[in-house]
Amino acid sequence: MKTFNKALLTGMLTSACLLTACTNHAPPPQPGSINSKLEQLGEMSYLQVSDLKAVKRNHLLFVQAEITNTDDDNQQLFYRFKWVDASGFALGEEAWKPLVLYAYQKQTLSAVAPSPQATDFKLEVNSTDNTGDRP
Amino acid sequence: MKSLSFLWVLPLLMIGNAEAAKIAVTDLTYSERVSGYFHVVDYHNKSSARASQSDRENNYSSSSRYSESGRSQTDYTEVESSYSYIEYGELRKFVGDIKGEILKTSGFQLTQAKPYTSKGSEKIFDIIARIKKGYYSNADYVLFGTVTELEFRDELNPIIGTNTSSNTFSLMLVAEFSLINTRTFEVKAAFSATGEGEDARMASAGSRVVPSRGKVISAVSKSLGEDVARQMNEQLGNYTDSGERAERGAPAPPAGLPNEGPVTRFTP
C-alpha cells in the first residue's frame, strides 16, 4: 500500500511538471509573421509592433517597423536590430537604442543592414513596462 | 640560356603587378587641444646682519664702542595663467590590422607610406600637398585616416545579488577615412570606421584588478581593421547581391534608380 502511494505521488508530480512545461513553452511563431522576427525580453504590456516590412535596396536590407503605444501614458522602449547572414551567423552587435512613445503614438523605426551580407534580421525590443512573462 | 628563359616570366610578373592597384595607408592623423594651467611663485629673501664691538682700556681711561647694522631684502613674484594649444601629429598605432585586412579581403597591393615627421601643424591634414611632395610615390591610392574620437572608459558595476562587481576597461576609436587617387585626387571611398575593445574582469570585495591594456589595444586595432576593409569593399562594389565577394572588375549595378527588390511584409 505504501509503495502504491509512492508511485501515485511520483505520477502526480511528473504530470504536474509536464503540465507546467507545456504552459511555459508557447508554440513557435508562424514563419512570415511579425512575431517570428521579434525578440521580446519580457512581454510588453502596452507596446505593440503593429507593422514590419523589409526590402533590399542597393544590395542592403532595409527594414521598417511601426510601434504602437496602446496606453494613455508615455512608454519607454529600448530596441536594436540583429543582422544575420545567409548562413545564419550574426553580423556584429548593435547598441540598444532608447525611444519614448507618447500616449497612443505610433512611431516608425527604420534601419539599414550594416553590410550586404545581411540577409535576415531580428528586432529585439524591451519595454520598461512589461508583464515579466515570456512573450 | 637559363637567364633568357627567365625573361619569359618577367612580362607575366609585370602584368600581374599592373592589374592590382597599389594602395598606401597613412598613419592616423590627429589634432588635439591641449590645455594647461600654471602658477609660479618666486620668493627670494636675502638678509644680513653685522655687529662689532671694540673695547679699549688703559691706566687713565677706558672706552667701549659697539655698532650694529642689519639689512633685509625680499623679492616676491607670483604669476598664474592658463594656456591652450592644438597639437597635431600621427598615431603610430592601429594601422597594422587595417593593412592586414586590406590584403586579406581586397585585390589591392600595399606599399609602405612615408610617415609624416615634420613639426605638427594644420598642414598635416593637407593630404594633397603630401601626395604632391612624393610621400606616396609608388601608390595609386592613399587611404588617409584621421582620428575623430578616442575614448578610454573604466567602469565598475556591481553584479546584483552577489558581492562581486564587474570591472570593464574599454577603448573606442572612431576614425574617418578617404581613399584618394594619387593622380586625379578623386575620392573613391569615404567612411568612418570604429574600433572597439574591452577587458572585463570580475572583482570581489577587497580585490584589485588590473585591466590588460595590451588586450584592449589589440582588439581595437583588429576591429578597426575589419571595419575599414569591410566598408572599403562595400563602397568599391566588391560584393554581389548574395553577399559573396565578386570578381574584381565585375560590372557595377546600373546607376539611377535604386536597385530595389520586392517588399516583404510580415503579418501580425
Closest A-chain CA to B255: A58
In total, how many domains does chain A have?
A: 1
Predicted pLDDT at A14: 54
Which pLDDT belongs to residue A128? 86
User: Rounded to an integer, what distance in angstroms lies between the CA atom of residue A104 and that of residue B210?
Assistant: 49
pLDDT score of B193: 93
Residue A53 in domain: yes
Q: Is residue A20 part of a domain?
A: no
Asked whether residue A112 is assigned to any structural domain, the reply reads yes
Nearest to B219 by CA among B75, B94, B113, B134: B94
* Total number of domains constituting chain B: 1
- Is residue A110 in a domain? yes
Does B230 sit within 8 Å of A58, measured CB to CB?
A: no
Q: How confident is the model at residue A10 (pLDDT cuts 50, 70, 90)?
A: low
Share of chain A above pLDDT 70, in %: 81
Classify residue B206: in a domain, yes or no. yes
| Residue scoring higher pLDDT (B257 or A36) | A36
DSSP E strand stretches across chain A: 38-40, 47-57, 60-69, 75-85, 97-101, 106-112, 118-127
Residue B154 lies in a domain: yes
The answer as to whether A14 is a domain residue is no
Tell me the residue range of the domain where B176 lies.
20-33+85-235
Torsion (CA) B96, B98, B100, B103 in degrees, nearest 10 = -140
DSSP secondary structure of chain B: -HHHHHHHHHHHHHHHHHHSPEEEEPPEEEEEEEEEEEEEEEEEEEEEEEEEEEEEE-SS-EEEEEEEEEEEEEEEEEEEEEEEEEEEEEE-SS-HHHHHHHHHHSS-EEEPPPP--SPPSGGGG-HHHHHHTTTTTT-SEEEEEEEEEEEEEEEEEEPTTSSEEEEEEEEEEEEEEEEEETTT--EEEEEEEEEEEEEEEEEETT------HHHHHHHHHHHHHHHHHHHHHHHTT-B-TTSPBPPTTPPPPPSSS--B-PPEEEB-
* Any B CB within 8 A of A116 CB: yes
Do residues A65 and A109 make contact, with C-beta atoms less than 8 angstroms apart?
A: yes
Shortest CB distance from A85 goes to which of B243, B253, B259? B243
Per CB-CB distance under 8 Å, the chain A contacts of B260 are: 55-57
Is the ipTM beyond the 0.85 threshold?
no
- Quick one: pLDDT at residue A6? 59
Provide the pLDDT for residue A54: 93
- The pTM of the full predicted model, rounded to 2 decimals, is 0.51
Domain presence at residue B129: yes
CATH number of the domain within which A76 lies: 2.60.40.3230
* pLDDT at res. A4: 53
- Identify the CATH number of the domain in which residue B157 sits: 3.30.160.150
Q: What is the reported pLDDT for B243?
A: 42
Residue B134 confidence (pLDDT): 87
Residue A35: in which H helix or E strand, if any? none
CB contact under 8 A, A55 and B262: yes
Residue A48 has pLDDT above 50, yes or no: yes
Nearest-CA distance B19 → chain A (Å): 26
Residue B160 resides in a domain: yes
A17 within 8 A of B222, measured Cβ to Cβ: no
State how far the Cα of B1 lies from the Cα of A131, in Å rounded to an integer: 86
Q: Is residue A99 part of a domain?
A: yes
Query: A91 touching B, CB under 8 A?
Result: no
- pLDDT value of position B80: 83
Q: Is residue B103 part of a domain?
A: yes
Q: Is residue A113 part of a domain?
A: yes
Strand, helix or coil at A113?
Answer: coil
pLDDT digits (tens, 9 = 90+) for A75-123: 999 999 999 998 989 988 888 999 999 999 999 999 988 888 899 999 9
Residue A89 placed within a domain? yes
Q: For residue B191, is it within any domain?
A: yes
Q: Which residues of B touch A (CB under 8 A)?
A: 230, 234, 239-243, 253, 258-268
* pLDDT number for residue A23: 52
Q: What is the pLDDT of residue A131?
A: 79
- The Cα–Cα gap between B144 and B242 comes to 30
CA angle (A45, A107, A117) in 5-degree steps:
100
Range of the domain at A46: 31-127
Please identify every stretch of chain B with a pLDDT value under 70, giving residue numbers as ranges. Answer: 1-19, 238-259
Per-residue pLDDT, A67: 94
